Amino acid sequence: PRQSPPAFDCLAAMRALGEPSRMRIVRQLLSGPHAVNDLCDELQLTAYNASRHLTVLKTAGLVSVEKQAQRRIYQLATDFQQRLTKNNQVLDLGCCQFDFSKIPE
């Protein structure tokens, strides 16, 4: 049986988004799914750092991953996407909001 994703946890999301590289990754994923290598190139991250950050984001329920042959394709998790407003630029967690359009490059 397929394991269902963990319930969305506001505190885990805030912890995960509290690191600038992870915020940059999420902002990149707002435009759609990306392979790890693409994220590394676009954000100038090492494969090790990108994988480490993506693991934190996945554990927090913010991203999901799909394996395609040898590649891993990351995208925003469904529950996370449902919390995005204003053209997918603002994440509403209920107690606070993250505006990805105001995050520095």
User: Model-level pTM?
Assistant: 0.82
Q: Collapse the DSSP code of 40 into the 3-class scheme (helix H, G, I; strand E, B; otherwise coil) and give the result.
A: helix
pLDDT digits (tens, 9 = 90+) for 45-67: 999 999 999 999 999 989 999 99
Least confident window among 54-58, 66-70, 72-76? 66-70
Q: Phi and psi (nearest 5°) for 80?
A: -65, -45
Q: Which amino acid is at 10?
A: C
> Which DSSP letter does residue 19 get?
S
